[in-house]
A = this chain, B = another copy of it.
Amino acid sequence: MYYKSSIELREAIRKEKFKTQTSGQAKGYIQANLVVLPENWAFDFLLFAQRNPKSCSIIEAGSAGEYLTKYIAENADVRTDIPKYRVFKHGELFEERYNLLDIWQDDFVFFLLGCSFSFEHALLEADIEVRHISENVNVPMYNTNILCREAGKFKASPMVVSMRPFIPNNAIKAIEITRDYPSVHGSPIYFGNPKEIGIEDINKPDYGDAVTIRENEVPVFWACGVTPQKAAMVAKPPVMITHVPGYMFVGDIKDKDLKI
């Protein structure tokens, strides 16, 4: 079932009636990555995001203990309004769960980060085919040899990228379009030979699904909101909570409102 309204979608998610991926849901509304950390890790993470804005652009963050959003949506509850969560302890995946009600702590700080789903909407509107959407799979994502800037307890960790293949003319258009969306990764960080950025096999993504790359196409790489999950695996905070990739927070702001 496809929801048109972001408010109705979040209500279904909150009631655990909707427990799947959010791709294609509430079209035109922004989807965001979630990161939750204890207060004594929060400044370092905000600094990590500031230093790595292509990967981690904060759309909204709360003060310690706050779980209701103010800006991305009015009073959405980050403890319940995402279809599936991942809990990491000391950098290892501990469990997946459908809400955070039992485990929410007074010192938790939430961060909602920009997601490439927002600029894909703009690409489709410009009649540019987005391969993983055409093939109805998750976007392919890869660890790279590009190091993020460190920030306090977050030491240098690899940037994660998403990939979309285009013919050169569409790659140029995609660069032009996405540069105007700096809060959802902005312009690409690289295109061309995947080995140059440490990707050994383009057909074996580290996250998400492989997609077809045709003879006349070039793979184009954008910084990806999964980067903080990788950073957490390196920094090993006692607890960190994220969404399950693809199971996003859906807000009431429109994608097009993120255009500068």
A-side residues, CB < 8 A to B, are 39, 42-44, 46-47, 50-51, 58, 61, 63, 71, 109, 149, 151-152, 179, 182, 186-187, 260
Contact B71 A47 (CB under 8 A): no
* B61, B149, B182: the one within 8 Å of A50 (CB): B61
Contact of A46 among B39, B47, B179, B182 (CB under 8 A): B47
**Cα separation A106 to B184 with both chains bound (whole Å):** 35
Identify the interface centre among A42, A50, A71, A187: most chain B CB within 10 Å of its CB. A50
Number of copies: 2
Q: Which residues of B contact A149 (CB under 8 A)?
A: 71
Q: How far, in angstroms, from A42 to B182 measured CA to CA in the complex?
A: 24
Q: Chain B residues with Cβ under 8 A from A47's Cβ? A: 46, 61, 63
Distance of A256 from chain B, by nearest CB (Å)? 15
B71 near A51 with CB under 8 A, answer yes
Q: What are the residues of chain B within 8 A of A61 when measuring CB–CB?
A: 47, 50
| Shortest Cβ distance from residue A223 to the other chain B in the assembled complex, whole angstroms | 14
Task: Report A170 CB to chain B, min CB distance, Å.
Answer: 21
9 contacts between A and B (CB under 8 A): A43-B43, A43-B46, A43-B109, A46-B50, A50-B58, A63-B151, A71-B149, A179-B260, A187-B260
> Inside 8 A of A152's CB, which chain B residues have their CB?
63
Q: Complex Cα distance A186/B186, Å? A: 15
In the complex, which of the residues A58, A109, A149, A179 has the most CB atoms of chain B within 10 Å of its own CB atom? Answer: A58
A sample of 15 more A-B contacts (CB under 8 A), given A43-B109, A71-B149, is A39-B43, A43-B43, A43-B46, A44-B63, A46-B47, A46-B50, A47-B61, A47-B63, A50-B58, A63-B152, A179-B260, A182-B182, A182-B260, A186-B260, A260-B260
Question: What residues of B have a CB within 8 angstroms of the CB of A186 in the complex?
Answer: 260
Contacts of A71 in B (CB 8 A): 51, 149
Contacts of A58 in B (CB 8 A): 50
